[in-house]
Amino acid sequence: MLSEFSLIDRYFARRARTNTRRAVLGIGDDCALIAPAAGEMLAVSTDMLVEGRHFLPDVAPRALGHKALAVNLSDLAAMGAAPLGFTLAFALPKPREDWLEAFSNGLFELADRYGCELIGGDTTAGPLNLCITVFGSVRQSHALRRDAAQPGDDIWVSGTPGDARAGLGVLRGEWPQVPIDRADAAHFRHALEHPEPRVALGLALGGIARAALDISDGLAGDLRHILERSHVNAEIDVDALPLSAALARLPRALQLQCALAGGDDYELCFTAAQAQREAVLAAAQQAGGRVTRIGTITSSDMAGSPVAPAITWRDASGAPLNLTLQGFDHFHAD
Amino acid sequence: MLSEFSLIDRYFARRARTNTRRAVLGIGDDCALIAPAAGEMLAVSTDMLVEGRHFLPDVAPRALGHKALAVNLSDLAAMGAAPLGFTLAFALPKPREDWLEAFSNGLFELADRYGCELIGGDTTAGPLNLCITVFGSVRQSHALRRDAAQPGDDIWVSGTPGDARAGLGVLRGEWPQVPIDRADAAHFRHALEHPEPRVALGLALGGIARAALDISDGLAGDLRHILERSHVNAEIDVDALPLSAALARLPRALQLQCALAGGDDYELCFTAAQAQREAVLAAAQQAGGRVTRIGTITSSDMAGSPVAPAITWRDASGAPLNLTLQGFDHFHAD
């Protein structure tokens, strides 16, 4: 059996050392030493992934390596920060070489693509658990905060939310009565297992968008975080939701459940002043992604009060819809 | 049952907000935003604690909260960095309010004492797992790196290593034939469950010591990391090892096993030029701790070669001792 140190060295440290070194001091000391560029802040986020909760026990380790870092890079994207590096702590029941090789390949393929360097970590025996803390650099004036939405702002979303949730439904066999052809099922599963963090879009939106976050727990639930922190409400045109062709082939109720209350999308939801519409579209084009305007921020009579913010759901005609949706919550049963 | 968000808010976010804010943006956004002081680097370290491996299932949650942060602060101490903040990710089988209250009390008692602010986190359901990433600030020229030891340097250690390992032995009932009185047992257990990170000492040693690390896996094994990275060897005077009065009452073989190959001490092992002896002692006095000179760094004929570095063990008369010791390795059975 590999010892802890040879394990780290073989699959992680050696590979980390071949990257360009943004860190003054990386793996192998008590701490890594890093610094943001002059005049910039360090953006920091941490996510923990647990088997059975964030991934299925039979997930391909390469896909898991990708996703573990992708969900963290997505937090940087939502802040408009440029990736710098990350730490990886993980618990493994037993170090299996084939598993580690595939996992590290998936991890570094994504890390290299975004120039995000592994700067430190920890490994231990235990039930499978992955904890990544990611570091980015952002000008304070360009940070896309959750508390910056203003009444009158457009509400935008990137990509086609809902596909990842449909992928989970397919893998779990949740909808046996719904015919889903093989290509659509593969599309959904890819969305679930290979989310693409919207880093380029987040960077392009700096100075253009106001508030932003990434959709990890479902659009409806996540949007509420912006509303709460910005003390505003929202109106959403449900018919404007961008759906993939595959999702659009599911029954309408499933479409909405997946697109509004599904987790694991890692698309960006953001607000921007109406005067910025062209700039937003240009930023999306520059970043090579799709963005769709789905609603409007409205004022709240209860600024500063602890009352939960309201989302009004409407169809394309403006008629209100009565939707019952529940966002993803890690301590509720799924 | 508490939802994830009210859970975080009740025990962590609300309390974090009452601290002084070193972070421009903390809990509740996609990322925290922090920056080291002008001209300083950010020191980053991450540690994952798993039940049954790093703590016993029946550990008091208040002690666990202390220790989870203490082991991370110890990494900052070993780099000579001043604590700034930390992120906490944890998986819990079920959120129990009494457990969370005691855990967070132990955590924040230590965090507040060192001005180390909770800036972000993640909670999820899963087998109990705690992952903390800690941030500090250090002048690059004052960083205590593992690769900076030079032949002729004194080797120093803080405190009285071995007590924590004796505490584990007591809790596990490993030595039924050895009489250990109740006060000594309590002393050992306290060392195991309430390690005090040597932050003040690490800061005081900046510009004085050369190489340093903290002893988490046993003095012998950890010292080897300095030797490997600095391409040097070492001679240790085993009779010079500082032992607590309680440890000195155990049989000699157990003393050495605990002091040299025991884990969880979180004392500092560091090297400094002989000309710095008075400065080292003054730094320790300023920091309110004890340091002891236990050996010397010697040159290696094999600088740069992959051959394992050598530690020569001697007694006070200079005669070599033949010690068989195994450092703690998380993928070997204990």
Q: Which residues of A touch B36 (CB under 8 A)?
A: 35, 42
Given an 8 Å threshold on Cβ–Cβ distance, is A146 in contact with B30? yes
Q: Compare B171 and A307 and report the one with higher pLDDT.
A: B171
d(C-alpha B212, C-alpha B215), whole Å: 10
Given an 8 Å threshold on Cβ–Cβ distance, is A79 in contact with B29? yes
Nearest CA distance, A118 vs chain B (angstrom): 12
Interface predicted TM-score of the whole assembly (ipTM), two decimals: 0.82
Given an 8 Å threshold on Cβ–Cβ distance, is A90 in contact with B48? yes
Among A9, A12, A17, A29, most B C-beta atoms within 10 A, so best to mutate, is A29
| pLDDT value for A330 | 43
Nearest CA distance, A7 vs chain B (angstrom): 9
Is B157 in contact with B268 (CB distance < 8 Å)? yes
Residue A71 clears pLDDT 50, i.e. is over it = yes
What helix, strand, coil percent values describe chain A, rounded to 5? 35, 25, 40
**Cα–Cα–Cα angle for B324, B326, B330, rounded to 5 degrees:** 170
Mean pLDDT in residue range A97-101:
89
Domains of chain A: 4-142 (3.30.1330.10), 146-314 (3.90.650.10)
Q: Which among B50, B120, B329 has the least Cβ separation from residue A44?
A: B120
Q: Does an H or E element contain B297, and which?
A: strand B291-299
Residue A16 clears pLDDT 80, i.e. is over it = no
Which two structure tokens, joined as six digits, stand for B68?
A: 């989870």
Nearest CA distance, B127 vs chain A (angstrom): 7
Is B118 in contact with B28 (CB distance < 8 Å)? no
Query: What's the half-sphere exposure (Cβ side, CA atoms, 13 Å) at A124?
Result: 25
Q: Which residues of A touch B212 (CB under 8 A)?
A: 30
**Cα–Cα–Cα angle for A31, A34, A35, rounded to 5 degrees:** 145
Among B6, B12, B30, most A C-beta atoms within 10 A, so best to mutate, is B30
| pLDDT value for A93 | 86
Which DSSP state fits B140? G
Q: Which among A33, A122, A332 has the least Cβ separation from residue B47?
A: A122
Which residue does chain A place closest to B332, by CA atoms? A3
Q: Which of B273, B254, B78, B234 is nearest to B167 (CA)?
A: B254
Bridge partners, residue B51, by sequence: B55
Residue A27 Cα distances to A9, A34, A45, A85, A112, angstroms: 9, 12, 19, 11, 16
d(C-alpha B67, C-alpha B51), whole Å: 13
Nearest CA distance, A34 vs chain B (angstrom): 5
Give residue A183's pLDDT band: very low, low, confident or very high (50, 70, 90).
very high
Taking each helix axis from N to C end, the angle separating B252-261 and B163-172, rounded to the nearest 10 degrees, works out to: 110
Q: Which among A42, A138, A229 has the least Cβ separation from residue B42?
A: A42
Which ranges of chain B have pLDDT less than 50?
Answer: 1-2, 18-20, 327-334
d(C-alpha B222, C-alpha B271), whole Å: 13
Which residue does chain B place closest to A26, by CA atoms? B44
Taking each helix axis from N to C end, the angle separating B252-261 and B219-230, rounded to the nearest 10 degrees, works out to: 40
pLDDT in tens, A186-196: 999 999 999 99
Given an 8 Å threshold on Cβ–Cβ distance, is A29 in contact with B121? no
| pLDDT value for B8 | 64
Is A330 in contact with B6 (CB distance < 8 Å)? no
Largest CA distance in chain A: 65
Q: Which of B266, B131, B130, B132 is nearest to B196 (CA)?
A: B266
Given an 8 Å threshold on Cβ–Cβ distance, is B122 in contact with A53? no
pLDDT in tens, B81-127: 999 999 999 898 887 888 899 999 999 999 999 999 998 888 888 88
| pLDDT value for B254 | 92
Q: Which of A18, A10, A25, A190 is nearest to A111 (CA)?
A: A18
| pLDDT value for A329 | 44
Largest CA distance in chain B: 65
Question: Which of A65-69, A320-324, B179-183 bottoms out in mean pLDDT, i.e. has the lowest?
Answer: A320-324
Residue A112 clears pLDDT 50, i.e. is over it = yes
Which residue does chain B place closest to A328, by CA atoms? B4
| pLDDT value for B302 | 58
Q: Which among A35, A53, A95 has the least Cβ separation from residue B42?
A: A35
Q: Which among A4, A40, A75 has the least Cβ separation from residue B30?
A: A75
Mean pLDDT in residue range A116-126:
88
Q: Which among B47, B53, B135 has the least Cβ separation from residue A125?
A: B53
Q: Which residues of A touch B76 (CB under 8 A)?
A: 30-31
Which residue does chain A place closest to B86, by CA atoms? A44
